Amino acid sequence: MSAVSSVARRLDGARIVRGTTRYLDDAVPAGCLHVAFARSPHAHALIDAVDLSAAAAAPGVVWALSGKTAAGLIGDLICLLPEALTGAGGPLMLPCLPAQRVRYAGEPVAMVVAETEDAARRAAELVALACTPRPPLLDVSSATAPGAPPQHPQLATNVVMSSAVRDGDAAAALAAAAHAVEGQVRLGRAVPLEPRGCIAWWDDEAGRLVVRAATQQPHGLRAELARQLQQPESDIRVLAPPLGGGFGFKFPGLPEEPLTCLAALHLRRPVRWVETRAESLLVGARDYQASYRVGFDRRGRVTALSVDLDADVGALSATPGPVMPAVAAGTFPGPYDVGHVEVRWRAVMTNKGPWNGARGFGKEATCVVMEAALDDVARVTGLDPAEVRRRNLLRPEQLPHRTSTMTLDSGDYPRALDMALELADYPALRARQARQPAEGPLRTGVGVAVELTPEGIDYAGSLSRGFETATVRLDTSGNVVVLTGVTSPGTGSETAIGQLVASRLGIPVAAVRVIQGDTDRTPYGAGSFSSRAVMTGGTAAWLAAGDLRQQLVTAAAALLGAEPGAVEAAEGLYYVRDEPARAIPLGPLVSAVRTLGAALPGLGGPQVEATRTYGPGNLQSIPDETGRLQQYPAYSYSVHVAAVEVDIETGTTRIERLAAVHDCGTVINQALVDAQLHGAVAMGVGIALFEEERHDGQGRPLATDFKRYLLPRLQDIPELRTGYLESPSPFTELGTKGAGEGGVGGSAAAIAGAVRDAAGGGHLRLPLTPERVLELIDGYYDAATGGAQ
C-alpha cells in the first residue's frame, strides 16, 4: 500500500477554495414553493385540535397540513431499534405530524407551503394549536418516575430500550477487589452544526420525483421516501449535494424531508425546505449520565468495572440517534484489559427534542467515563495517571482481543501512549505542576486519555449496512469514473477513493472522477457514517479497479506482443518492463478493448467497467447461538494528553497544549487523516468545555443560536501536536480502519481529566463551564478544609 500513502491534494479543493461548491440552497429552482413548519410552544401537551384556517387563508399560502390531514397521505416513520431491546413486539412507528401528543417544544404540528419562505413562516405562526399542556418530563429521573406518562403508545414506560453488556462477573470481582471507587459522569446535550434541508420537484417528463437533500444517506432516504409516499423506489431520484458537515445529524428519520416530498408530489411544483438555525438546534444528542464503580488492586490493575449508563434521548425519533447508548455500552472497557465488566444501560424518552447521530456515536461517552474511572484509580493508589493507563492497556500480543461485543483487531496501545507522553513533554508538565506556587489564581492540570473507536458499523436489519458497491468505468480519454454509494460530508473521501483507483490502474489521481450522491448513477451504498467511506467504498473501488487492471494488462500484452507478466502501468501508460518504448497509453488501450475486445484473439473481453461489492470481516452482525453480537469490524484508537491552566478564582480554563497519537490502520492520505483528527479535537474541546443545549423549566430550549450554544473558536483550540501509528487491520482488505471519529472522545476525556486534575477531583459534568469548575474546586477545598469554605 506504500504506493498509495501520499498527500494527494483534495479533488474538491479548488471548488471549496474558489467558492464554487453548490450546496443545497445555492440552486433553488424557478417557481419554487417554500415550506415552513408550525411548531409547538409546549414541550408536552395533548392535542385537542390544530386549526389551519387562518394559515391557509394567509397571503401566498398554497397548502397546509396537520397531523390529522396528513395521516392518510403519508406513511409513518419507522424506528430503527431492535425489537429485542424495546420489547414492543414490533417496530415502533411515529407519525410525521402528531395528531395526539406533542412530545417536545418545537415539534412540528403543521406544515405550510407558500410562494415565499417569509409568507410560509408568517402563515405558520397563524396555525392555532388547541391543546392541553402536561408537565414536561425533562430528565431521566422524572421520565422514569412511577406514573410518568409513556411518550409512545406502543411502550408501557419511557424506557425505550434497556439491556446490559457483561463479561465475567463484575459484582463478584468488585466485592473481592482490594479497592473500589465510585464516580459519576454527565455529558451535555450536543446539537448539529449545519441546518438540514431539501428541495423536491416532480419531473413531469420522466414521471418521477427528484429530491435534492442535504443527507448522509441518499439511497437510504430514497427507500424510506418510497415506502412513505408509496412510490416505486425507482421512480424517485435522490441527489445529495455537498454538505457543510454531516457528523451524524443528517441521517434520515425525521419528518421534514418526507413531508416536503409529499408537498412536491401533491402540488406538482418544486418545494423547498431549509430549516433555520433555531430549528436546527432542536435536534440533539449525547445527553448521558453514568455512575460507575471500579475495582482494582494496590498496583492499580483494574479488575472489575460496573457502569449504569442512562441516555436522555428526548422525543423518540426514527433516526439512528437513539441507538447510540447501545454502542456506548458495547464499547466498554475500551482499550483496557478488564476481566469483569457489567454495563447496564437505558435509553429514556423525555420531552426534549429528538436525537440524531452525533460523531463519536456513543463511543465518546465510553471514553469519558472510562478515563474518569482510571483517574480515580490513580488518585487512590497515588500512581501517575499515565502509569495507571500503561498497567491496564491491552498489550499488542493480546490482540486480537475478544469481548462480548467486540474483537479488538490490532495496534500497539502502550507504544501510542508513550509517543503521546513524549509529544506532550509529559514529565516537564508534571514537574512544572509540582513546582507551581500556592498563591496566584492559576493551576496547571494534566489529563491523559486513551480512546478506542470501533468503526465501520454493520447495522443488519437497517439500510445502514457495512458493505459497499463500487463501479469503475474506463473511457477512451484515459480517464476513469468511479461510481460509489458512499458520500463525502466534506471529509474528502472522494480523494482517497480516487487515489486507490489511480494507484491500482497506474494513472494520475487527476484522471479519476468520483461520482457520489446520486441514486440514479451510483450503486447501492449506505452513505457516509462510521468512518467507513474509504474502508468500504474505497476498497470496493480498489477491487473493481483490480479486475480492470487484469483485463488491461492482458490486452496491452496482446497489443504490445509481450507476456502479460511483463506489462506494467504507471502515469497512464501500460508498458513492457525494462522496455519503456514498447508502451500504449490508457486511452488508446481502452479504445482497443471497446472496439476489438472479444473479436481480436488474445485481447480478452470487451468489458471496460467493473463492479465489486465489499464488506469487512470481523463481524457478528446478527446474534449467534450464544446471543453474541458484534457490529463493528475495525478498531481505531488514539491517545491524548492535555495540559490546561485553570483560573481557580473564576473557573476559566485555558487549554495550553494537546498531544494526540492516532492509529487508524493503513493510511491512504495522511493529510485527510490529519484533518479528521484536528476536527475531532476541536469537537472534543467543545464537549469538554463549551457545548451544551439546555432547557428552561418548561422544556423550551435556551440555546437558539451560536451565541447561546457556544462552539469553540480557533483561539479556543490548543496547540496540537499529532503523531501516528499505522497498525493494519487483519480483517479488512487494505488494513484500513476508519479515521472519521477518532479523537472526539479522547480529547474531551483528556481535557476533562486535566481540569479535574487542576481542581482536585470531583464528579465530572461536561461541559466544564466556569461555574461547574468552581463547583469542582469548592468540593476539593471543602474536603481539604473539612467542609468549611
CB of residue 692 to another protein, shortest distance in Å:
10
Instruction: Report the nearest approach of another protein to the CB of residue 537 (Å).
Output: 35
Residue among 527, 525, 600, 511 nearest 557 (CA): 600
Among 98, 241, 447, 651, binds another protein (CB under 8 A): 651
Cβ(195)–Cβ(280) below 8 Å = yes
Among 2, 714, 788, 789, binds another protein (CB under 8 A): 714
DSSP string across 671-736:
HHHHHHHHHHHHHHHIIIII----B-TTS-BS--STTTSPPPPGGGSPEEEEEEE----TTSTT-B
Window of 15-23, 616-624, 730-738, 765-773 that interacts with another protein by CB under 8 A: 765-773
Binding mask 49-68 for another protein (x = CB under 8 A): ----------xx--------
With contacts defined by CB under 8 A, name the span among 82-90, 517-525, 568-576, 701-709 that binds another protein: 701-709
In angstroms, give the least distance from the CB of 712 to another protein. Answer: 6
Instruction: Give, in order, the Cα–Cα distances in Å from 126 to each of 57, 70, 133.
Output: 10, 18, 19
Q: At what angle do helices 426-435 and 413-424 cross, to 10 degrees?
A: 50
- Contact range with another protein by CB under 8 A, out of 110-118, 198-206, 293-301, 354-362: 110-118
Residue 435 or residue 707: which is nearer to another protein going by CB?
Answer: 707
Instruction: Say whether residue 710 binds another protein (CB under 8 A).
Output: yes
Residue of 2, 715, 785, 789 that binds another protein (CB under 8 A)? 715
- The yes or no reply on residue 276 touching another protein (CB under 8 A) is yes
CA distances from 688 to 259, 637, 749, 756 (A): 37, 19, 7, 11
Which range touches another protein (CB under 8 A), out of 84-92, 116-124, 482-490, 593-601? 116-124
Residue 764 interacts with another protein (CB under 8 A)?
no
On whether the CB atoms of residues 765 and 703 are closer than 8 A, the answer is no
- Stretch in the footprint of another protein (CB under 8 A) among 115-123, 170-178, 522-530, 598-606: 115-123
Judged by CB, which is closer to another protein: 246, or 712? Answer: 712
Which of 337, 454, 426 shows the shortest CA–CA distance to 390? 337
Encoded amino acid at 716, one letter: D
- Nearest C-alpha neighbor of 201 from the set 149, 110, 272: 272
- Which of 690, 738, 752, 766 is in the footprint of another protein by CB under 8 A? 690
Record the cell numbers describing residue 400, joined without a space. Answer: 486480537
Which residue, 119 or 500, has its beta carbon nearer to another protein? 119
Shorter beta-carbon distance to another protein: residue 337 or 716: 716
Rounded CA separation 561/555 (Å): 10
Q: What CA–CA distances, in Å, run from 444 to 113, 246, 382, 438, 526?
A: 56, 35, 18, 11, 45
689 binds another protein per the rule CB under 8 A: yes
User: Is residue 611 classed exposed, middle or buried when 0-12, 13-18 and 19+ CB atoms within 10 A define those classes?
Assistant: middle
195: cis peptide before it, omega within 30°?
A: no
At 89, list the grid cell.
413486539
- Smallest distance, Å, CB 450 to another protein? 27
Which of 39, 103, 122, 152 contacts another protein by CB under 8 A?
Answer: 122
Smallest distance from another protein to CB 716, Å: 5
Nearer to another protein by Cβ, of 245 and 723: the residue is 245
Residue 205 or 439: the one with the smaller Cβ distance to another protein is 439
**CB count in 10 Å sphere of residue 784:** 10
C-alpha grid cell, residue 627: 446471543
Q: Residues binding another protein: what is the number (CB under 8 A)?
A: 37
Could you say whether residue 6 binds another protein (CB under 8 A)?
no
Q: Which of 206, 431, 708, 782 binds another protein (CB under 8 A)?
A: 708
Of 9, 166, 208, 277, the residue at the interface with another protein (CB under 8 A) is 277
CB of 368 to another protein, least distance (A): 19
706 binds another protein (CB under 8 A): yes
**From candidates 770, 779, 780, 781, binder to another protein by CB under 8 A:** 770
CB of 764 to another protein, least distance (A): 18
Q: Which is nearer to another protein, 705 or 719 (CB)?
A: 705
List, in sequence order, every residue forming a beta bridge with 78; answer none if it has no partner: 93
Q: In angstroms, what is the minimal distance from the CB of 435 to another protein?
A: 20
Closer Cβ to another protein, 231 or 698, answer by number: 698
782 touching another protein, by CB under 8 A: no
Shortest distance (Å) from residue 40 CB to another protein: 17
Count the Cβ atoms, other than its own, within 10 Å of residue 5: 15
Residue 739 neighbours by CB under 8 Å, 6+ apart: 531, 534, 636, 662, 664, 667, 672, 673, 676, 677
703 binds another protein (CB under 8 A): yes
Q: Give the span between the Cα atoms of 241 and 783, in whole angstroms.
A: 56
In what side-by-side order are the strands of the sheet with 634-647?
442-455, 634-647, 653-663, 719-725
116 contributes a contact to another protein by CB under 8 A? yes
70 burial class (0-12, 13-18, 19+ CB within 10 angstroms)?
Answer: buried
404 three-class SS: coil
CB of 279 to another protein, least distance (A): 10
Q: Is 655 in the site for another protein (CB under 8 A)?
A: no
CA torsion 375-381-385-391 (nearest 10°) is -110
Beta carbon of residue 708, minimum distance to another protein (angstroms, whole number): 4
**Coil/strand/helix, residue 33:** strand
From CA 209, how far away is CA 510, in angstroms rounded? 34
Q: Judged by CB under 8 A, does residue 460 bind another protein?
A: no
Distance CA 121, CA 34 (A): 9
3-class DSSP assignment, residue 256: helix
Asked if 436 is part of the footprint of another protein (rule: CB under 8 A), the reply reads: no
702 binds another protein (CB under 8 A): yes
Among 182, 520, 579, 649, binds another protein (CB under 8 A): 649
End-to-end Cα, the chain, rounded Å: 61
Contacting range for another protein; rule: CB under 8 A; set: 597-605, 618-626, 707-715, 758-766: 707-715
Q: Which residue, 171 or 710, has its beta carbon nearer to another protein?
A: 710
d(CA 456, CA 364): 16
Given a contact cutoff of 8 angstroms between Cβ atoms, the answer to whether 483 and 499 are in contact is no
Give min distance, CB of 138 to another protein, in A: 17
Under rule CB under 8 A, residue 278 binds another protein: yes
Stretch that binds another protein, among 113-121, 338-346, 406-414, 599-607 (CB under 8 A): 113-121
Residues that bind another protein (CB under 8 A): 59-60, 115-116, 118-119, 121-122, 276-278, 439, 441, 649-652, 689-690, 694, 702-703, 705-708, 710-716, 769-771, 774
